[in-house]
Amino acid sequence: MNTFDLTPLYRTAIGYDRLADMLTRASRADGGNGYPPYNIEAVGDDDYRITMAVAGFAENELNIVSEQNTLTVSGAQKPSDDNEHQFLYRGIATRSFERRFQLADHVRVEHASLENGLLHIELRRELPEQMKPRTISINGKESLIESQEKSKAA
């Protein structure tokens, strides 16, 4: 397993304490088997979509939970009476699954929809006003003296 030396990053990054933990989790093998397959796409500057192939699952058999910075999607099909059907080949998976996604700060789930066997989860990043870029003015000696004179005159 590869390890990452984050020392150069910590020289210029402030407040990224969780970064090492996230990189460690990402570098571990994904204990899963790739089921169900999924896509993650950017559909705008601050909009994202996760699409999962969940053929055979009904809406009430899927569960989506967003908690802190983790999105968990799980599915469990209700047991069916297999005596009713005689399968010669069964290629459509009916096993339960759980898939976790790490979300960046300020990313929230907008909504989810299920159509044609695909589960679409719409995400949006919304930065609070105090986190948006802002211009910082530089006050020199003159402006400091001017502001003191103005306060004395008032």
DSSP label at 78? P
Q: What is the pLDDT of residue 144?
A: 47
- pLDDT for residue 48 is more than 50: yes
Q: Break the chain into its structural domains and give their ranges.
A: 1-31, 32-132
Asked if 74 and 52 touch (Cβ cutoff 8 Å), the reply is: no
CATH class of 32-132: mainly beta
Q: What is the pLDDT of residue 121?
A: 96
> CA-CA distance, 31 to 124, in Å (whole number)?
27
What single-letter amino acid sits at 5? D
- pLDDT for residue 15 is more than 60: no
Q: What is the pLDDT of residue 22?
A: 61
Q: How confident is the model over 1-23, as a mean pLDDT?
A: 60
Q: What is the pLDDT of residue 127?
A: 79
Q: How confident is the model over 68-96, as a mean pLDDT?
A: 82
Q: How confident is the model at residue 137 (pLDDT cuts 50, 70, 90)?
A: confident
Which structure tokens are listed for 149? 């004179």
Which structure tokens are listed for 67? 């908690």
**3-class state of residue 101 by DSSP:** strand
Give pTM, 2 decimals. Answer: 0.65
- pLDDT for residue 11 is more than 90: no
Higher pLDDT, 120 or 81: 120
Q: Residue 26, by phi and psi: left (phi above 0), alpha (psi -120 to 50) or beta? A: alpha
Average pLDDT in the chain: 79
Tens-place pLDDT, residues 116-134: 999 999 999 887 777 778 7
> CA-CA distance, 93 to 116, in Å (whole number)?
16
